[in-house]
Amino acid sequence: MENRNVILTGEVIEKKIERIAYEIYEHNYDEPSIILAGIWDRGSLITRKIADHLRRIAPFDVEVMEIRLDKASPGEVTLSETADFSGKVIVVIDDVANSGRTMLYAIKPFLAYLPKKIQTAVLVDRRHKSFPLSVDFVGYSLATTPQNMVMVDVEGEEIASAYLV
């Protein structure tokens, strides 16, 4: 087994996800609805957890959808639902922002419309980005070397840990 330097435990991750939900609410409290778009697969799990918190605390409607793309070669991006995203608030969510490339490609389908806002949220934000991406809602920010990778370990519907490799 590779060397795992745990940076977030499951218990801490749950608190970070709850805090992200509160921050999303604070920045969008006056909206009638928001769309949470999770990047498959770990981003989708985090999205569902954020949506659960938002549905308990926020008065607005929360729609959840999934974004699918090949993270190694993100040319084609598909959305689980098609709709007119004009005038909508969209929060694109993933587990880790490494280079920023995946998040930028995930945003691309929404740019065919005129959304009111596109915001981004990640559980872990690595500061060594190769692409111009600034994350709006961050659970944990980490300065790493470019050789380091941050991984999120999932067990079923639970997020067990985040670790540095």
pTM: 0.94
Contact 97, 107 (CB under 8 A): no
Q: Which residue has the higher pLDDT, 129 or 64?
A: 64
55-108 pLDDT, tens digit each: 999 999 999 999 999 988 888 999 999 899 999 999 999 999 988 899 999 999
pLDDT exceeds 70 at position 2: no
Report the alpha-carbon distance of residue 165 to residue 4 in Å, rounded: 6
For residue 112, give both structure tokens.
């065919």
